[in-house]
Amino acid sequence: DLTIIGHLSRGRISELYQVWSLSYTCALTCKILSLNAASDPKAVRNFKREAMLLKRLEHPQIVRIFDRGTFEQRDYLVQEYLHGPSLFDLIDLSPNHQLPLPDVIKAVIHICSALDHVHAKGFIYRDMKPSNIILRGGMPVLVDFDAAAPFTPGRKSTSRLGTDPYMAPEQ
């Protein structure tokens, strides 16, 4: 019941498509594992963990998930379609690449609220960057949870995930 409208982007392990859903009668985003990632057990595990986590998260500043499944041996997620610009786009288009301070404070408060919700569910986001924050009606929404991982106090991460130069210095 999904019809592809167009290709949106390609990421590290997945591709995004804008789709039309007959079930929901609206445009949504379909995130599907890339062909290479579909044969990588770690990528598949992370993708399934992302779907499970998004099902557990209900927060206005976190992208909503509608469905998940498999198509031609590739896992996919159906999420809300966010057509607003990313925070990266806003910064890039702003004079001197700086946003007005009140806008920055508002965005930080809302994204910190989303991260607090993720942490309360026992996960760490691990890929915070301006391109993973999309505006919906002027409000920031956190997207792309494939790098999120369960938080275990005292355990050090054995994998290096994130995006340079946004990663923590210790990574």
Give the gyration radius of the chain's Cα atoms: 16
Cα torsion angle, 156, 115, 51, 4, sign = negative
Beta bridge partners of 19: 4, 28
Of 127, 144, 146, 164, the catalytic one is 127
Tokens of 102: 């009140």
Side chain identity at residue 146, one-letter code: D
Q: Please report how many Cα atoms fall inside a 13 Å half-sphere around the Cα of residue 118, on the Cβ side.
A: 28
Tell me if residue 127 is catalytic. Answer: yes
Among all chains, which residue has been given the structure tokens 């910190």?
Answer: 112
Task: Check if the beta carbon of residue 128 is closer than 8 Å to that of residue 87.
Answer: no
Contact 32, 75 (CB under 8 A): yes
CA 74/CA 93 separation, integer angstroms:
36
Q: Which residues are catalytic?
A: 127
